[in-house]
Structure 1
């Protein structure tokens, strides 16, 4: 299993998004630990297993066919997320801004992946990044998919 090192923030200010984003639908087959999800992004379909929580997580993602995605999709009823994903430049690296739709409309998050924990610790978020929600269960996609936007 690979490792994902990622920090997640709410979008708090005005960020300039590219004119085109990629529509994403993802659903959770098993929203626990490990979490198992299927995702469709612009004709590309994957199944992903993630373990742990917080800054460093285990992650394995495998491409699947459209037919396999369609067969698995019904198992995700009640645990789905719709969003548009935009890639933006931040301080010489890339971040992804997710603008949620459906029941999660109005929520915007930004995630930055890193090659090391040291790089993650040294990252200075731009002014438009809001509160950091790395490891906050309520802002994990698997939780959002089942329970909606946290009311805290």
Structure 2
């Protein structure tokens, strides 16, 4: 279970870093800030400017799609895979729905959060399953200096 735990932590970390970076780059107001019935102090609080993208939706998507993907890897012939993936999708959609109903996010926020999270949850296990991943192909390196980010390179 150690390998799965480390893969899960990697997927969640990728989602978390992507979310944190997005929050630093965007100052999108949450939908509730446009509601005149909410007190001004609440509408102008620090958390009112981090609508894009939905971190809750992204983290639920990462967790559930990681579970679905790894379960599918261990049970490739099971007829239950569609139930597992359906559950992952349902949990993600419901999280996004309730975040929008609470006035925390616009539809685009939860769609992007769902995409970021599901991609992280699906791709991390798949890339590590590929035996050639570390030998040839994609390499990802952090870059620091005048700019901060990731360097992606693909060898053919």
In the superposition, the TM-score normalised over structure 2's length comes to: 0.25
Q: Which has the higher helix share?
A: 2
Q: Which has the higher strand share?
A: 1
Higher normalized contact order (CA 8 Å, seq sep 6+, divided by chain length) = 1
In the superposition, the TM-score normalised over structure 1's length comes to: 0.25
The structure having more radius of gyration, on CA atoms, is 2
